[in-house]
Chain A
Amino acid sequence: MASLPDNSAPPAIEVRDLVKTYGGVTAVSRVSFTVARGEIVGFLGPNGAGKSTTMRILTGCMPATAGHVTVCGHSVATQTDEVKRLIGYMPENNPLPEDMRVSEYLHFRGRLKEISRKKLGPRLDEALEMCDLKKVRHRIIGTLSKGYRQRVGIAECILAEPPVIIMDEPTIGLDPRQILVVRDLIDSLRGRMSVIISSHILPEIEMTCDRVVIINQGRVVAHGTPAQLRRDLLGGARYELELAGPEQGLPALLARVEPTLKIVVTTPAADGFRRHTLTSTNAAELGEPLLRAIAADGRLRVRSLARAHPTLEEVFLAATGQNWDAERKSA
Chain B
Amino acid sequence: MPSGKVPEPPHPLLVKHFLTILGHEIRMLLVNASTYVAAVLFLALMGLVFTTLLESYSTTAQEASPAAVFFQLFWLPVFFMVPLLTMRSFAEERRLGTLETLFAAPVSTTEVVLGKFGAAYLLYLLLWGLTGGFFWILRHYANDPRLIDSGPLIGGFTFIAVSGLLFVALGVWMSSLTRNQGVAALLAFVLIVLVVWGPALALDNFPVLRLETMRPLREALEYAKVFRHLDDFTRGVADVRAVLFHVSGATLALVFCVFSLEAKRLHT
Do A and B make up one complex?
A: yes
A interface residues, Cβ below 8 angstroms from B: 2-6, 9-10, 12, 22, 37-38, 56, 59-63, 71-74, 81-82, 84-87, 89, 91, 93, 95-100, 104, 108-109, 111-114, 116, 156, 161-164, 191-193
- CA distance in complex: A74, B7 (Å): 13
Q: Are B4 and A112 in contact (CB under 8 A)?
A: no
Q: Which residue of B lies closest to A191 (CB)?
A: B1
Q: B265 — which chain A residues lie within 8 A by C-beta? A: 61-62
Which residue of B is nearest A161, CB measured?
Answer: B2
Give 8 CB contacts A-B under 8 Å.
Answer: A2-B1, A56-B100, A84-B106, A91-B104, A95-B97, A97-B98, A112-B106, A191-B1
| B31 on the A face (CB < 8 A) | yes
The answer on a CB contact under 8 Å between A113 and B266 is no
Q: Which residue of B lies closest to A84 (CB)?
A: B106
Q: Report the Cα distance A116→B21, complex, angstroms.
A: 15
19 additional contacts (CB under 8 A) given A62-B265, A97-B28, A191-B1: A3-B1, A12-B4, A60-B104, A61-B103, A82-B6, A84-B106, A85-B7, A86-B6, A89-B104, A91-B101, A93-B97, A95-B96, A95-B97, A96-B96, A108-B24, A112-B17, A114-B10, A116-B10, A192-B2
A74 to B267 Cα, complex, angstroms:
24
User: Which residues of chain B have C-beta atoms less than 8 A from A3's C-beta?
Assistant: 1
Contact across chains for A91 and B97 when beta carbons are under 8 A apart: yes
Cβ of B12 within 8 Å of any chain A Cβ, yes or no, is no
* A37 CA / B107 CA spacing, docked (Å): 26
A36 to chain B: closest CB distance in Å?
Answer: 11
Q: Considering only CB atoms, which chain B residue lies closest to A23 in the complex? A: B267
State the 8 A-B residue pairs at the shortest beta-carbon distance, nearest first.
A72-B4, A95-B97, A163-B2, A112-B105, A84-B106, A89-B104, A163-B4, A82-B6
Across the interface, name the chain A residue whose C-beta is closest to B100.
A91
Contacts of A71 in B (CB 8 A): 4
Chain A CB within 8 A of B213 CB: no
Report the minimal beta-carbon distance from B49 to chain A, rounded to whole angstroms. Answer: 32
B interface residue numbers (CB < 8 A to A)? 1-7, 9-10, 16-17, 20-21, 24, 27-28, 31-32, 96-98, 100-107, 265-267
Q: If A61-B104, A108-B24 touch, does A86 touch B4 (CB 8 Å cutoff)?
A: yes
Which B residues touch A95, using CB under 8 A? 96-98, 100-101
In the complex, the answer to whether B98 meets A113 with C-beta atoms within 8 Å is: no
The answer to whether B3 touches A9, judged by C-beta atoms less than 8 angstroms apart, is: yes
Instruction: From B5, B10, B24, B105, give the contact of A113 (CB < 8 A).
Output: B105
Query: In the complex, are the beta carbons of B7 and A114 less than 8 A apart?
Result: yes
A37 to chain B, nearest CB (A): 7
Contacts known (A86-B6, A99-B31); A108 close to B20, Cβ less than 8 A: yes
Contact B104 A22 (CB under 8 A): no
What is the distance, in angstroms, from B112's C-beta to the closest C-beta of chain A? 10
C-alpha spacing A113/B98, complex, angstroms: 15
* Neighbour of A74 across the interface among B6, B9, B105, CB < 8 A: B6
Is the beta-carbon distance between A59 and B104 smaller than 8 angstroms? yes
Nearest chain A residue, comparing its CB with the CB of B111? A112
CB distance from B18 to the nearest CB of A (A): 11
Bound complex: CA A46 to CA B96 (Å): 24
Whether A22 contacts B267 in the complex (CB less than 8 A), given A89-B101, A99-B28, A114-B10, comes out as: yes
Neighbouring B residues of A93 by C-beta, 8 Å: 97
Q: Within the assembled complex, what's the spacing in Å between the Cα atoms of A162 and B98?
A: 20
Q: How far is the CB of B99 from chain A (nearest CB, A)?
A: 8
A162 and B101 within 8 A (CB): no
Whether A112 contacts B20 in the complex (CB less than 8 A), given A81-B106, A95-B101, comes out as yes
A73: which B residues are within 8 A, CB to CB? 4
- CA–CA, A162 to B6, complex, Å? 10
Given known contacts A95-B96, A97-B98, A99-B32, is B1 in contact with A87 (CB within 8 Å)? no
CB distance from A101 to the nearest CB of B (A): 10
Residues of B contacting A60 with CB < 8 Å?
A: 104
A193 to B3, CA, bound (A): 9
